[in-house]
Amino acid sequence: MKYDVVIVASGKGQRAKLGYNKAFYRMKDGKTVLEHSASLFVADEDCQNVIIVTNKEYYDEVFKHEKIVLCEGGKERKDSVRNGLQNVISEYVLIHDAARPFLRKQTLEEVKKKVEEYNAVVLGRMATDTIKLVDDNKVIRTVDRNTVFMAETPQAFKSELILDCYRNCADINFTDDASLVESLGKDVYIVIDEYDNHKLTKEEDFLGL
């Protein structure tokens, strides 16, 4: 399959307390978090374009490669993704957080395989803790954790599907791209992530990198 990837790298990352965009934090090897997140896609022969969505002030800090397409970020994450999607040329598109630099090749291959089969998939980790449904600090019930997954990225879609969702759902509030597709009554399937693909969010997440 041929695909493009939209990598969202325009967030302020205030909880990281770095004073700058966390995607451009340099790890011990001298490479930025963004470079680590993008390099897997750059090296993949199936990936035609690596669309990096970030603020213009960071354009010069993005590492150079012929596959990379720079795109300006928006006010909110959904605006940034929408901007990135305008540059998609492939039949399929993956949407990935720049702050997830630990994605593994075998996981990517599974996502690619499943999106060809289902048209909309989300990478997720099965919950390991007991899950409580709560309302106003009161436990309503305990949820079967075997049915609960923590959504991650990349999330992958048939390009025409996710583009149509963004065109028709400007007023819908959603926390990830898969939930937008779900809101239109479309089926989304889970790809179980067996590895550590955590998102760099808080200050302590950057210790030892």
For the stretch 116-160, pLDDT in tens is 999 999 999 999 999 999 999 999 999 999 999 999 999 999 999
Instruction: Count structural domains, the chain.
Output: 1
Cα(208)–Cα(200) distance, rounded to whole angstroms?
Answer: 12
CB burial of residue 110 (10 Å; 0-12, 13-18, 19+):
middle
**Helices (H), ranges, 95-158:** 105-118
Nearest Cα neighbor of 188 from 105, 110, 124 is: 124
* Predicted local confidence at residue 17, as pLDDT: 82
DSSP strand pairing (92-97 vs 120-126) = unpaired
DSSP conformational letter for 10:
-
Cβ atoms of 152 and 123 within 8 Å: the answer is: yes
Amino acid symbol at 102: F
For the stretch 59-99, pLDDT in tens is 999 999 999 999 999 988 999 999 999 999 999 999 999 99
Give residues with Cβ within 8 angstroms of 47, minimum separation 6: 2, 3, 4, 5, 41, 67
Cα(209)–Cα(206) distance, rounded to whole angstroms?
Answer: 6
Q: Residue 57 is part of a domain; what is its CATH number?
A: 3.90.550.10
pLDDT at 170 over 70: no
Cβ atoms of 99 and 163 within 8 Å: the answer is: no
Q: Give the residue numbers spanning the domain of 100.
A: 3-206
Cβ atoms of 171 and 101 within 8 Å: the answer is: no
Q: How long a stretch of residues is the chain?
A: 209
